Amino acid sequence: MPSTPVDNRPELPAYDRPQLPAYDQRVVVAFLLGEAGLPVAEDELDELVSVFALVRGMTRILHGATVTEQLE
Amino acid sequence: MRIPSGVADAAAALRSGELTSVGLTHALLARIERENEGLGAVLGRCDEAALNAAEAADRALSAGTDRGALHGIPLALKDILATEDAPTTGGSLAVLPGFQGYDSAAAERLRSAGAVLIAKATTSEFACGTPDDTKPFLFPRNPWDTNRWAGGSSAGTGSGVSAGLFMGGVGTDTGGSIRVPAAFCGVTGMKPTFGLVSRFGCIPLSETLDHVGPMARSAEDCAHILTALAGPDSRDTGSRTFEHQDYADALDPDLTGITIGVDRDHYRLADVPGEVVAAYETAASELAALGATVVEVRLPFFSEIAAATTVVMNSEPLQVHGRNLREHWDDYGRSTRLRLAAGAFYSASDYTRAQAVLRRGRVLLGEFFQTVDCVVSITSAVAAWRFEEIGLAAAMKTPFFTNRWNGLGMPAVALPMGFSSTVTGSPTLPLPLSWQVAGPTHSDGLLLRVAAGYQTRTDWHSQIPPGFELEEAGA
């Protein structure tokens, strides 16, 4: 038995992660509402696209670094 | 005749013989009849049942049976709480099934305490919409300026208490829906500890955030109502068993031995007008005069807990309303259906992360409350909005400092702290401003004690809106 632990884990390769293409928020919003079966009208969709931006901003706070350190 | 200022005043008047419950109920029904067209505080009346209950209360009192502070006192219930003697609309044409023809736990408990349920108070549609002129419901107007909103969602309870249409009432609070209308209308409102008051018979909005609680002119009146409302109920899966107490008995204006944290981060981080901050600092300075030890504090995870609560608050309602919304889209008001639809924008990952943040937040706040007994903050950075200022996006961005206490399940009392003389820099009618006292789970009695103590040194809570003076000719 060696007196000190031996780390035999392979070194992880550095990934060059590709950027996802920019998405069209209106298409995403329409998709999500459609999946939920909600009969949203065109003018309502316009308003919900701006709400969607607020919503995603809110969720980014949740996935932020500080709170993650406390949770994990 | 004189209309009492609230529950405790009316209770004393009934026992001194100055008033009877029947006389008071008649007077308040007449007041509602006269004022409601302009105020929109009441969605449904229960005249016959109320007068029968008042007559029974008078008979019992004469025979020596006294059920306590609410005996014979006319109160209102927000119209998302079921009552057997009046329809429950939720303020919507898209009525959800399952809430008609029986009493909610709140109604049962208030009747059992001898209260007279006089009216179903106006609610924002399903406790989340805003006034919609395409729907046949009166706008809930603010007695301090009827061009302005009474707040949401327990709008009618706040407006009616402020205008003296009933002696107190019950609202519900998912993110501030008791405390915001209390703030806008200049009354006192409490979101109790999660599970203390049963939600049986309450049209749900958010399973993990909904709370039922009292609204009245004073903290003392809220204490009387909460004493009647509190108690375990197996019909509500969120209900918890707590030791029963009389919250009014625990009121003591001497706050010696109590350590109160004053939070300033919230207003430094948000765009809070100077006069609101000044009113808050003046209010906080009164606490030391009551004997409390006052220290400045920083609440842990201020932004994260508020964001997590918002995610839960916007996600869960779609689960409640999804089917009804698909089938009755146009029956919902525009702001309601769009807000509910926005629940589709959150992922399972968002929701589970939000719940994890809230679980962690409860632990951190539990530790925080080892250092202070309770904490104070501003309730709302704004005074009551004009109707045209209300908007879905605006409401999502406006700094109400209320919702984190829903996510944490911890109690909070909102109470008046002064008046605004300007709104966005322009002179206006005096509009109420509010602060709140919040504390750890089970601290409901302590919070009411602090609030009531403050109200022994100030009279903001007893101000009556001009035009709604508490005198009735004849009656």
B331 vs chain A: nearest CA distance in angstroms? 12
pLDDT digits (tens, 9 = 90+) for B115-132: 999 999 999 999 998 999
Answer for the pair B168, B162: CB distance below 8 angstroms, yes or no: no
Catalytic, B124? Answer: no
> Rg of chain A over CA atoms, in angstroms?
22
Find the helix or strand (DSSP H, E) in which B62 lies. Answer: helix B47-62
Mean pLDDT of the region B427-448:
94
The radius of gyration of chain B from alpha carbons, rounded to an integer in Å, stands at 20
Check B301 against A38: CB less than 8 A apart: no
All residues of chain A having their beta carbon less than 8 Å from the beta carbon of residue B346 are: 55, 59
Write down the mean pLDDT value for chain B: 94
Residue range B56-80: average pLDDT?
98
Q: B338 vs A54: CB contact, 8 Å cut-off?
A: no
- Least CB-CB distance to A44: which of B304, B311, B338? B338
Residue B341 pLDDT exceeds 60 = yes
- Is beta strand B374-378 parallel, antiparallel or unpaired with respect to B293-297? unpaired
A33's CB contacts (< 8 A; 6+ apart) are A40, A45, A48, B341, B344
- C-alpha distance across the termini of chain B, in Å: 6
From the list B384, B428, B422, the residue with the least C-alpha distance to B278 is B422
| Helix, coil or strand: residue B191 | strand
Look at residues B167, B78, B160, B163 and name the one whose alpha carbon lies nearest to residue B114: B167
Measure CA of the first residue to CA of the last residue in chain A; give whole Å.
33
Q: Does A56 touch chain B (CB under 8 A)?
A: yes
Would residue B335 show up in a list of annotated catalytic residues for this protein?
no
**B467 has pLDDT over 80:** yes
Cβ separation of A62 and B342 shorter than 8 Å?
no
Closest residue in B to A65 (Cα–Cα): B304
Which residues in B301-411 belong to E strands, given as ranges? 374-378
**Distance in angstroms (rounded) separating the CA atoms of residues B189 and B283:** 17
As a whole number of angstroms, the distance between CA B58 and CA B76 comes to 19
Q: What percent of chain B has pLDDT over 90?
A: 88
C-alpha neighbours within 13 Å on the C-beta side of residue B114: 22
Question: Mean pLDDT, to the nearest integer, of B34-47?
Answer: 96
Its pTM stands at 0.95
Is pLDDT above 90 for B92? yes
How distant is the Cα of B363 from the closest Cα of chain A, in angstroms? 11
**Other C-beta atoms within 10 Å of B312: how many?**
26
Would you place residue B229 in the very low, low, confident or very high pLDDT band (cuts 50, 70, 90)?
Answer: very high
Would you call B338 and A51 a contact, using CB atoms and an 8 Å cutoff?
yes
Name the band, by pLDDT with cuts 50, 70 and 90, for residue A9. confident
Residue B340, phi-psi category: left (phi > 0), alpha (psi -120 to 50), beta (remainder): alpha
- Closest among B314, B130, B112, B269 to B198, alpha carbons compared: B112
Question: Over 90: is that where the pLDDT of B437 sits?
Answer: yes
Best CA proximity match to B377, nearest among B421, B432, B439 = B439
- pLDDT-derived band at B475 (thresholds 50, 70, 90) equals very low
Beta-carbon count within 10 A of B46 CB? 22
Active site residue B21: no
- Distance of residue A20 Cα from the nearest chain B Cα, in angstroms: 19
Q: Helix (H) and strand (E) counts for chain B?
A: 15, 13
